[in-house]
Amino acid sequence: MNLQELLTSVPFYQTYGEIDKDITGITMDSRQIKPGDLFICIKGFETDGHQYITSAIHAGAAAIVAMHHVEMDIPLIVVSDTKRVMAQLASSFYGNPTREVGLIGVTGTNGKTTITYLLDEIFTENKMSTGVIGTIQTKINGKSYGVSNTTPDSVSLNEFFFEMRKEEVQTAMMEVSSHALDQGRVYGLDFDVAVFTNLSQDHLDYHKDMDDYLRAKSLLFAQLGNHYEQGREKYAVVNIDDPASHILIKSTAQPVLTYGVEQGDVHTRNIHMDETGVSFTMITPVGNIQVDSGLMGHFSIYNMLAAAGAAIVRGVQLEVIVAAFSKTKGVPGRLEPVFAGQSFGIVVDYAHTPDSLENVLKTLKDVCEGYVRVIVGCGGDRDAGKRPKMADVAMKFADDVFFTSDNPRSENPENILDDMTGHLKGEFHRITDRKEAIESGIASCRNKDILLIAGKGHETYQEVDGMKLEFDDRKVATQAVKQGRHNK
């Protein structure tokens, strides 16, 4: 594509050198440059992309976008904010694909992955082609791509949407993390629906405080409808039971559909919950309908209401929505049972915040006839303030607690465990090695107990000292049972 033409998507810039030339791609990483690419220098948290201009030129960069002037033999474009400009250039380079794909963005502390999966099932039930971008995978019409972030960078995002448009995807659902919003990864995307799940403590290593975290989330609602076209209505769908929803409602100029258990445009009556799942009557602006689902827990009601709200504003019939809810098998690593022939329950779940851990433990307590035991740790290089709080939740809601390592990343696992347990008074186990902790937890279980293995869900690795080592809670638990480490 012609660089001069591409730059029409950027309002203010200065150029040095001849920009009337073709570029073949866009990248922010000098290690990924292909000859003819435009290299964009990003000031990151670890390093500064401006340091790699020389390597980018050696690798064949056709032009550079930077935040200050540097002497060079290839064209240079100077802008004040390369992150935003990268998002504008990426959208433009790929032909603004999100303007032609119905796009639903889901943000909030917990439930994003689950809601995008439910939406995928609803739109598939509605016989539409779908795309999903999130923590577990990016999926385009059933084909799966690996991920490194819940929300990818703006270039990768637009490339995925370009692929979706080529594949004639009608509806795409994506998780929008607060990091992505803060870093402008989704800047310029044309969302049709923005969904808010809930706000509770997480990521305070990154965000200054809860207000700052909420401010990042509100950017999704502020950007909703920026590309408004006649006949393409935009909606915000928010959880009215969460106090933060009022801020998000104020952040958008678009119509809002609210949901909640007892209040909101979409709400419930006659909830029934047991070990087989939840059922309720769903009250909506387009009629009332019975929902019967195998998903467990009170929080699953919220996830279903959020997904139903987004589907309703996109014109999906209620019958289609509840058919998807009745068929869903849930999401990998979210309340996923492990069946290895044992006489007690083993459940793997991705709860890695105080709120999600509390929800999951309460759900299991409600259905368990024996003891609820939990294996839990906290991630390294992440919000340390979560550590004592998650430990308190485990001690309060479980009958037997095994503290262990999650992904220690660059931190010493013992320090993380000290942060979790230093203030505790009651009895607990502390077993640093996660495999040993799972084996001990399994060995303690009696008939009718439930063992919750929390924090890593679908993850198939454990990140220790910067290395990702193979580790899957589901496989480790299965192996421990098969090796006879449980009470028979």
Ligand X SMILES: Nc1ncnc2c1ncn2[C@@H]1O[C@H](COP(=O)(O)OP(=O)(O)OP(=O)(O)O)[C@@H](O)[C@H]1O
Per the annotation, where are the binding residues?
30, 108-114, 149-151, 177, 183, 185, 382, 406-409, 455, 459
Kindly tell me which residue out of 268, 293, 356, 440 binds ligand X, with binding defined by CB under 6 A.
Answer: 356
Contact range with ligand X by CB under 6 A, out of 45-53, 155-163, 344-352, 443-451: 344-352
Considering the complex, state which of residue 64 and residue 364 has its C-beta at the smaller distance from ligand X.
364
* Under rule CB under 6 A, residue 382 binds ligand API: yes
Least Å distance, CB 348 to ligand API, is 12
Considering the complex, state which of residue 83 and residue 486 has its C-beta at the smaller distance from ligand UAG.
83
* Under rule CB under 5 A, residue 112 binds Mg ion: yes
Please measure the distance between the N-terminal and C-terminal CA atoms of the chain and give it in whole angstroms: 67
Kindly tell me which residue out of 52, 160, 213, 403 binds ligand UAG, with binding defined by CB under 6 A.
Answer: 52
* Under rule CB under 6 A, residue 473 binds ligand X: no
Interacting partner of 406 out of ligand API, ligand UAG, Mg ion, none (Cβ under 5 to 8 A depending on kind): ligand API
314: nearest Cα among 253, 233, 251: 233
Q: Helix or strand or coil: residue 155?
A: helix
Q: Helix or strand or coil: residue 441?
A: helix
Query: Phi and psi (nearest 5°) for 218?
Result: -65, -20
Least Å distance, CB 16 to ligand X, is 41
Site for ligand X in 181-200 (CB under 6 A): 197-198
71: nearest Cα among 83, 54, 55: 54
Single-letter residue type at 350: Y
Helices 318-327 and 112-125, axial angle in degrees (round to 10): 120
Annotated binding site for meso-2,6-diaminopimelate: 382, 406-409, 455, 459
Instruction: At 400, list the tokens.
Output: 């037997």
Query: Phi and psi (nearest 5°) for 254?
Result: -95, 165
Site for ligand UAG in 115-154 (CB under 6 A): 135, 148-151, 153
* Under rule CB under 5 A, residue 113 binds Mg ion: yes
Interacting partner of 379 out of Mg ion, ligand API, ligand X, none (Cβ under 5 to 8 A depending on kind): ligand API
Quick check: 196 and 242 in contact, CB under 8 A?
yes
Quick check: 301 and 272 in contact, CB under 8 A?
no
Residues 6-45, one symbol each (x = binds ligand UAG by CB under 6 A, - = not), give ----------------------xxxx----------x-xx
366 burial (CB, 10 Å; 0-12 / 13-18 / 19+) is: middle
176: nearest Cα among 165, 189, 160: 189
Contact range with ligand UAG by CB under 6 A, out of 46-54, 58-66, 301-309, 326-334: 46-54
* Under rule CB under 6 A, residue 46 binds ligand UAG: yes
- The set of residues, in sequence order, having a beta carbon less than 8 Å from that of 315 and lying 6+ positions away, is none
Angle (CA) 292 297 303, round 5°? 70
* Under rule CB under 6 A, residue 470 binds ligand UAG: no
Separation between Cα atoms, residue 358 and residue 367, nearest integer Å: 15
Separation between Cα atoms, residue 464 and residue 212, nearest integer Å: 30
Question: How far, rounded to the nearest angstrom, does the alpha carbon of residue 123 sit from its chain's CA centroid?
Answer: 19
Considering the complex, state which of residue 150 and residue 154 has its C-beta at the smaller distance from ligand API.
150
Count, residues near ligand API per rule CB under 6 A? 8
Considering the complex, state which of residue 37 and residue 182 has its C-beta at the smaller distance from ligand X.
182
Whole-number Cα distances in Å, 394 to 109, 328, 350, 372, 387? 19, 29, 14, 10, 11
Interacting partner of 47 out of ligand UAG, Mg ion, ligand X, none (Cβ under 5 to 8 A depending on kind): ligand UAG
Annotated binding site for ATP: 108-114
Question: How far, rounded to the nearest angstrom, does the alpha carbon of residue 352 sit from its chain's CA centroid?
Answer: 12
Count, residues near ligand X per rule CB under 6 A? 22
Considering the complex, state which of residue 148 and residue 270 has its C-beta at the smaller distance from ligand UAG.
148
Q: Helix or strand or coil: residue 414?
A: helix
46 burial (CB, 10 Å; 0-12 / 13-18 / 19+) is: exposed
Interacting partner of 197 out of Mg ion, ligand X, ligand API, none (Cβ under 5 to 8 A depending on kind): ligand X
Separation between Cα atoms, residue 384 and residue 411, nearest integer Å: 11
Residues 325-364, one symbol each (x = binds ligand API by CB under 6 A, - = not), give ---------------------------x------------
Considering the complex, state which of residue 65 and residue 186 has its C-beta at the smaller distance from ligand API.
186
Interacting partner of 29 out of ligand API, ligand X, ligand UAG, none (Cβ under 5 to 8 A depending on kind): ligand UAG
Quick check: 247 and 217 in contact, CB under 8 A?
no
Quick check: 66 and 82 in contact, CB under 8 A?
yes
Quick check: 446 and 373 in contact, CB under 8 A?
no
Residues 107-136, one symbol each (x = binds ligand X by CB under 6 A, - = not), give ---xxxxx--------------------x-
Site for Mg ion in 158-217 (CB under 5 A): 175
The site for ligand API (CB under 6 A) is made up of: 150, 352, 379, 382, 406-407, 455-456
The site for ligand X (CB under 6 A) is made up of: 110-114, 135, 150, 175, 197-198, 299, 302-303, 334, 349-351, 355-356, 359-360, 457
